[in-house]
């Protein structure tokens, strides 16, 4: 599983000219799911994400977490995080999970965040989406899991 996390002051997603999700201060998360990803990968990522100290304290140091600031999450499914561009000029996405695997894990990700009392907004899985954000910092972090463990 791969995620791109961006600290934002605002973010929104639009599908067919309709806003489907919008947040204030918090995190925009682009989520890529691979064939062999599991609920353990989700659990590891959520624990890491909601506790990452990437929000500034009163001294301007990144010492506060999403939980500390009562921040929100805008979660966007993003199969292109598994693009393989080694050969040719058109990326291959064969490493990305097909919907029968990805959708249940995406929904589990959302439900798991909600059990942590996190406000979660989303796009629409598989839709053509327009994502708008104001990256605060800018702060962008990439995390990856394998077998339920954080790799980076």
Instruction: Tell me which residues are annotated as active site.
Output: 80
Strand residues in 16-129 grouped as ranges (E)? 18-23, 26-32, 55-56, 62-64, 72-77, 119-122
State the Cα–Cα distance between residues 72 and 114, nearest whole angstrom. 10
Length of the chain: 152
17 touches 152 (CB < 8 A) = no
């Amino acid at each position: 599983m791969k995620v791109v996390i961006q600290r934002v002051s605002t973010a929104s997603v639009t599908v067919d000219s309709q806003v489907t999700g919008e947040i204030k201060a918090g995190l925009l998360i682009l989520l890529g799911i691979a064939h062999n990803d599991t609920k353990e990968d989700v659990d590891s990522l959520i624990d890491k994400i909601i506790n990452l100290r990437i929000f500034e304290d009163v001294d301007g140091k990144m010492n506060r977490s999403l939980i500390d600031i009562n921040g929100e999450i805008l979660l966007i499914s993003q199969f292109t995080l598994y693009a393989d561009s080694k050969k040719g000029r058109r990326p291959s996405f064969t490493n990305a999970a097909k919907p029968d695997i990805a959708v249940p894990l995406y929904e589990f990700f959302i439900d798991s965040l909600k059990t942590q009392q996190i406000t979660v907004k989303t796009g629409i899985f598989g839709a053509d989406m327009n994502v708008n954000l104001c990256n605060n910092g800018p702060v962008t972090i990439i995390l990856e899991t394998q077998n339920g463990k954080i790799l980076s």
